[in-house]
Amino acid sequence: MNDKEREELDQKFEEEYQRMVRRNDWNEGATIRMEVPLTTKLVIPDMFRNAVLEEVALEFDKLKNFGDTSQSFAAFVRGMKK
């Protein structure tokens, strides 16, 4: 995605967000619906990705009844961090 496409997508997002704010859709649990080009690759900063993976690993750590299996899953998930 080039800079122009990203700028257009950001503008569409902002317009949809403002529409939701005006309509107060938040109380209805509405989501922002946008058409995102299939060629768009969402970039998730490694910091957020790693935080989510750590949360998943911590949940596996809590599964004490599954012993080594849950610990193995937790280690696998932690290994997915960048």
Quick one: 29 and 58 in the same domain? Answer: no
Count of the separate structural domains present in the chain: 2
pLDDT for the residue 11 = 81
Tokens of 13: 């997002």
Greater model confidence, 2 or 75: 75
Q: Give the separation between CA 37 and CA 34, rounded to whole angstroms.
A: 10
In this structure, the answer to whether residues 2 and 25 fall within a common structural domain is: yes
pTM score: 0.48
Domain, as residue range, for 23: 1-40
Q: Is residue 1 located within the same domain as residue 36?
A: yes
Question: How much is the pLDDT for 19?
Answer: 73
Region 39-67: mean pLDDT is: 82
Residues 7 and 34 in one domain: yes
Q: 67-78 and 46-62 are packed helices; what angle lies between their axes, rounded to 10 degrees?
A: 180
